[in-house]
Amino acid sequence: MLTILAAIFVFGVLVTVHEFGHFITAKMTGMRVDEFAIGFGPKIYQQKDGETLYSLRAIPLGGYNKIAGMDPDDPVEPNAFNSKPIPARMLVILAGALMNFILPIILFSGIFMVEGRMQLVNEPVLGTVVDEMAAARAGLKAGDRIVTIDGKNVETWTDVVLNLRKAGTEEVTLTAERNGVLQTYKMTPMFDKDAGRPLIGVSPKFSKESLGFFGSIKEGFIYTKNIGLSMVSGLYKIVSGNAPADVAGPIGVAQMAGQVAEKGLLPLMNFVAFLSINLGVINLLPLPALDGGHFVLLLLEALRGKPLGGKAMTNIQMVGVALILALTVFSTFKDITR
């Protein structure tokens, strides 16, 4: 039940925020929005306010805007999407992804306000020791202070890192202090594929740093930017064949949402923020049926001086829908095999 509720919450927030971006900019640019719906399927509740019907539907895993003039077959009307200047239409198209970047900035900023930022304590003191790795097997424990590595004195955590890197996969001898008592430990670092270097399985201590209101907002911007750039880099590696296409579909996301929800509200908010950035990046890809593809068509219209024909637009949309369905089937298959 927790997994189901968490999945409904995550998908509901992401899609609602995305569609709200399209909705509010359409309203701001004078476009007629016939319906703003949260969910799909039969209507549970609806209310009309002005020209827009607001509805809540039975399947809470999505939502949509019905903006007049967005369908290639829609007539050109004064307040329709297809009658507005290209910059206004571009704004409406990009606003969904923009909201998916604004949401994590807000969420991350709130998390930093509550939790602060974990700051590295640059002392040679072990914060954690990973079970079943070299350091743990040798007998080191969290809180131990490293004094020497292979006979060389260390005074900072940076010294610890540099000396361990020099050792590579050769056996190292560490002298550590615990409760005022010095003891010697021998261990052999093991190469870790994910890290790309030999590790003994230790990490430094961290202290919590309060950032304040403006500091938290700044950190929220920086954190969102870094994750977004990391996702773009990851996508490039997948497309170029330098990384496996390890993707998660709706089932995988729902399962992860349930697991994160068990850890508490803040981890769930962090997960929503992460997925929101993901959704924003994916939607900006220049593929048919995605916002990025629609933006490219508007650029093409600006260069040609006229839009593509209705038949061409319909065919492009059909290709886009086919690609999305294929990706959904592929990712769902991956979810099931996992």
Positions marked catalytic: 19
Radius of gyration of the chain (CA): 26
Q: How far is CA 155 from the centre of its chain?
A: 37
Which residue's structure tokens are 């077959």?
73
- By CB atoms closer than 10 A (0-12, 13-18, 19+), residue 99 is buried
Q: Could you tell me the CA-to-CA distances from 290 to 191, 280, 284 in Å, in that order? A: 41, 10, 7
Give which of 133, 86, 129, 106 is closest to 297, Cα–Cα.
86
Q: Which amino acid is at 56?
A: L
Q: What angle do CA 6, 10, 15 make, to 5 degrees?
A: 150
Between CA 162 and CA 166 the distance in angstroms is 6
Residue type for 236, please?
Y
Q: Would you state the structure tokens that stand for residue 37, as one six-digit string?
A: 């719906």
Distance CA 163, CA 223 (A): 30
